[in-house]
């Protein structure tokens, strides 16, 4: 019976590492896509307004780099909104699972 807790711990660490690898892979794929198309995120006046309204309402929402790059790729026409949503979903799934 003693080996069971060790197996559970090993499985936990393996799962954690696999999730981190998936997160890194998805983020790296998004960065590579942005680099290939020479796209960088530049906030628009509407982005700044949204950020200010969110901040004033008391919420702390910060969009991370992969999400900003997806937004830039979509705005530049290199990704459809469906493809951007799928990639963002994959990224968030890996980040929060």
Separation in Å, CA 47 to CA 1, 32, 87, 95: 57, 24, 21, 23
Q: Is residue 84 part of a domain?
A: yes
Provide the domain limits for residue 88. 63-97
Quote the CA–CA distance of 80 and 74 in Å, as a whole number.
Answer: 6
Q: Is residue 79 part of a domain?
A: yes
Q: Is residue 94 part of a domain?
A: yes
Q: Is residue 28 part of a domain?
A: no
pTM given for the model: 0.73
Q: Is residue 89 part of a domain?
A: yes
Which of 33, 38, 43 has the alpha carbon at shortest distance from 79? 33
Residue 40 has what pLDDT?
96
Name the domain count of the chain.
1
The mean pLDDT values, 10 residues at a time, for the chain of 97 residues are 52 59 78 93 94 90 91 94 91 84
């Amino acid at each position: 019976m003693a080996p069971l807790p060790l197996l559970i711990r090993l499985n936990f660490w393996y799962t954690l590492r696999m999730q981190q690898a998936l997160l890194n892979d998805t983020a790296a794929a998004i960065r590579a896509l942005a680099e290939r198309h020479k796209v960088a995120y530049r906030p628009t006046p509407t982005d700044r307004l949204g950020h200010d309204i969110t901040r004033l309402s008391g919420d702390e929402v910060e969009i991370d780099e992969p999400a900003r790059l997806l937004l830039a790729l979509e705005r530049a026409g290199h990704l459809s909104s469906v493809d951007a949503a799928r990639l963002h979903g994959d990224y968030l799934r890996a980040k929060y699972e």
